[in-house]
Structure 1
Amino acid sequence: MAPDHAQAVADCHVRCWREAHADILPPHLLDALRTGRGADRWRRVAGDPRIESRVALPADGSPDVLGFASVGPARDAAAPAALELHALYVRAAEHGTGLADALLGSALPADSPCVLWVLEANPRAHAFYRRHGFRADGARGLDPFALLPTLRMARGALA
């Protein structure tokens, strides 16, 4: 991910939330999502040497982002691994194509110890992460935007 991808990543992030969470979140919350401040955040992420981020761009050369992944230091002091998958989003049209697998593998070496947080009410995401060796570790939280329960999943976590 380069800083010039920031706006397209922010746009993709909002679209992915709207697509993936339409059955979970009320419409007014999804409508409230905006990309302006998100682009600034993704510019900072792109410039942070501690964070490994990847973007998937269309083969036709269009500037749209089809998906992205971002891995960096665990943000939870009690995390059982030093790395955290901060974000992995793929547009709904790309679901089932292997793009999410490729993004995850590109940003995070296979079997690397890692944690992530996922909405409890997102079984599709749970199944995807289980296929990649992640398991719920019992930690629970609350998504600050959606105010919905989250759970932490870990792979190869430290004892």
Structure 2
Amino acid sequence: MYAVRRRLASAAGRASVRRFASTEHSGHSAPKDESLGTAFYLTVGVIPLSYIVYFLSTPGADGKPSSLSKALNKYSDYKEHWSTRNSTHTAMVEQAAFDRNLFQSDKGSPHVNLRFPEIFNTGSPYNVSAGQGPRNMDAVVAHYEKLNAEAEEKKVKSLAEKKS
């Protein structure tokens, strides 16, 4: 207890000791002039600004619109521009949706049209069971040529009907 009291007393004694050995570096400088501050200049600037805005917003004596209204009306054509743009965009989206629906609702062909008929002859010759050897492919080639010719005829007919 006494040791704590001694330390507190010595700490209090050190805090109260001040030395004024030199007056040159005391940390005090000569008084400075204070500016009026930004609030003053803003308040003073609002007064002429409000008069200018009032002058620009009042209509003319002969009923002409104010110069502020004229300046704002210069930008009113953006409404037409944006409405045209929005209607064009809507038409494009509707057409894209129609096309997508058209292509996705098509059944498509149930068979795979082969690019070359020799695909039947590819593969290992050792995995061929009895009776499954190489065959005459002329009938298969003729079948696919006939299918392609029929498809071309249908396309030509549909194009001729659309044009007329």
State TM-score, norm by structure 1.
0.15
**As a proportion of its length, which structure holds more helix?**
2
**As a proportion of its length, which structure holds more strand?**
1
* Bigger relative CO (Cα 8 Å, ≥ 6 apart): 1
State TM-score, norm by structure 2.
0.15
If you compute each CA radius of gyration, which structure gives the higher value, 1 or 2? Answer: 2
